Structure 1
Amino acid sequence: MDLSKMKNDRKLYLCRWYFRAGFAFLPFLWCINAIWFFPEAFRRPEFEEQKPIKKYVILSAIGSIIWTIILVSWIVVFQTHRAEWGATADYMSFIIPTGVP
């Protein structure tokens, strides 16, 4: 979709929709929102809907960064301690690696 062909009120609606959808444990949408609407929020000349778009872009970027930190932390902890957790980790695993008791 080409944002340059959209009206400003539709851009605001779409940006707001992506931001709200990100709360459904979809941080990827926040990342998309921040990247896709960044030029509209910070590089275009002033327009009426720019201030709320800017707010949603900033909040989407912050949310995406926080989720990335949480997910990377969990992956590191799980991968380094999976063998120590025994059966509990096996219940959480989809694929159980062989060779580590």
Structure 2
Amino acid sequence: MDLSKMKNDKKLYLCRWYYRAGFAFLPFLWCVNAVWFFAEAFRKPPYEEQREIRKYVVMSGIGTIIWTAALTTWITVFQLYRAEWGETGDWISFIIPTGIP
């Protein structure tokens, strides 16, 4: 979709929609929102809706960073300690490694 062909109020609506949808455990939408609307928020000449778009872009970027940090931490902890957790580690695993026979 080409943002330059959209009216400013539609850009704001779309930016807000992506931001709110990110709260449904879809942090990828926050990343898309931050990247997609970055130029609109910070590089275009000022217009009425730009301030609110900028707010959603910044909050989406912060949300993306927080989710990335949390997910990276969880993956690291899980990979390092799953075997030590015994049955609980097996229970929360999607695929249980069988090891070397």
State the SS of the aligned residue for 1:46: coil
The yes-or-no answer on 1:65 pairing with 2:65 is: yes
Structure-2 residue corresponding to 1:23: 23
The yes-or-no answer on 1:41 pairing with 2:33 is: no
Instruction: Letter of the 1:34 partner, please give it.
Output: A
**Structure 2: how far apart are the matches of 1:90 and 1:83?**
8
State the SS of the aligned residue for 1:33: helix
| TM-score of the superposed pair, with normalisation by structure 2 | 0.97
**Structure 2: how far apart are the matches of 1:89 and 1:3?**
46
Give deviations 1:38-60, integer Å, cap 9, x for gaps. 00000000000000000000000
**Structure 2: how far apart are the matches of 1:76 and 1:98?**
20
| TM-score of the superposed pair, with normalisation by structure 1 | 0.97
Instruction: Letter of the 1:96 partner, please give it.
Output: I
Instruction: Letter of the 2:58 partner, please give it.
Output: I
Give deviations 1:50-98, integer Å, cap 9, x for gaps. 0000000000000000000000000000000010001101111110011
The structural deviation recorded for 1:8 is: 0.3
Structure-1 residue corresponding to 2:77: 77
Identity in percent: 73
State the SS of the aligned residue for 1:77: helix
**Structure 2: how far apart are the matches of 1:66 and 1:14?**
22
**Runs of 4+ with deviation above 3 angstroms:** none
CA RMSD of aligned residues (A): 0.8
